[in-house]
Amino acid sequence: MSEIIVSSLEAHDVDVHLNSKVQSFETTSDGRQVSIITNDEPILADFVIVCTGFVPNIDLLASQVQLDQNGAIATNQWQETSNPDVLAAGDVCSTYVTPMNQKEYFALATHAIRQGYAVGHNLFGHIHSVAGSQLTTALRFFSHTLAVSGLSLNRALAAGFNAHSVTYNGAYRPYFMPSNAAIKIKLVYDAETRKILGAQFFGDFDLTQSANAISLCIQNKNRIDDLAFTDMLFNPYYDQPFNYLNLVAQLAIEKEANVNNAH
């Protein structure tokens, strides 16, 4: 999937430098540009934007409530802190990541709004718990749609899963339609339990709601067998007789059958 993204960037005249470690910035002798000093060759730019990510701003409560391993305020499923009179939500908290079964720090608006909603109600008792997150997000990428939910293959392997993946490449609807668009879906799953761990989507067709569907699959601990034949609508304007989510899950079932037969 990353190769397609890099190719799209380069097709739009974006120079991509992978595995380059920025060491310093220097102004050129004429004062018109910035020279970015890396572990490779210097890169000239008119200006530089440094994106360093997020850290939790916990100065107000750092010595008053318990912090977790991520340096964020530790909360339970009700967003309660170690102080029963203090609830916390948003970028000061870690989030329970469902496929990893642990808390991680990801500053996303979707986390903040759900946690904030829960806090507002839980001031009056244990009313709404926060189920967790599948890290679902999307991006309009030039003329393309890029969407993700759950874990990538590399992240799943790093987390200790016996993860496998399959990739669906095809049209989103039947070829007899007057126009069409190619889509690419990469599905990641645990080969032992067959549970779905994540998916990435790329194409000129709007696939964002499919990422939401995968998010629900991960939260509900569905397996590739569940997704492969789940009842989904068919209308040639919108999809194939088997929806592309069905098809990518069927590829996973076929792959595992071939692996088992090989043994």
Number of residues assigned to the chain: 263
CATH number of 137-262: 3.30.390.30
The chain-wide mean pLDDT, for the chain, equals 94
Which pLDDT score is estimated for 260? 77
Strands (E), 14-129: 22-27, 34-38, 43-45, 95-97, 102-104
Q: In angstroms, rounded to a whole number, what is the distance separating the alpha carbons of residues 215 and 77?
A: 19
Domain 53-133 listed as CATH 3.40.50.40: no
Q: Count CA within 13 A, CB hemisphere, residue 82.
A: 11
Of 175, 225, 166, the residue nearest 199 (C-alpha):
166
Residue 23 confidence (pLDDT): 94
Domain boundaries, the chain: 19-51, 53-133, 137-262
> In the chain, which stretches have pLDDT less than 70?
263
**Per residue in 174-194, pLDDT tens?**
999 999 999 999 999 999 999
Interhelix angle for 244-262 vs 208-219, to 10°? 50
